[in-house]
Amino acid sequence: MICWKCKADIGDFDNYCKYCGAGQGKHVSFYYKIWGMWLLYLFIGPFAIYFVVRSPLINKWTKWIFSLIMMLLFCWFSYKFVLALKNIADIYLSLLNMPIY
């Protein structure tokens, strides 16, 4: 068997690589699992794509799909954030231009 992280030869029944310590099979860290990647996305946004690309648990096409979905969500949230800032700025500017009686 070959380690997914350091590409060293390890035994077929090893749960961890004896050279780099990376978990093998079901012993992979949580941030390489699907639920862990989405949890990271909530906290670090599009930087979670790094963990999607490095995950040994999902195939190439799933990595592309997850990366695309994460980037589209980031763009949508950014757009909504900019619209909210614009609305706040418009309200503030309208208050400054109000006539005082």
Cβ(17)–Cβ(8) below 8 Å: yes
Cβ(22)–Cβ(36) below 8 Å: no
Q: Nearest to residue 27, comparing CAs of 61, 1, 60, 53?
A: 1
Instruction: Give residue-wise pLDDT tens across range 18-74.
Output: 888 878 877 778 888 888 999 999 999 999 999 999 888 888 999 999 999 999 999
Residue 7: band (very low, low, confident or very high) from pLDDT cuts 50, 70, 90: confident
* 79, pLDDT greater than 70: yes
Total-model pTM: 0.69
Residue 101: band (very low, low, confident or very high) from pLDDT cuts 50, 70, 90: low
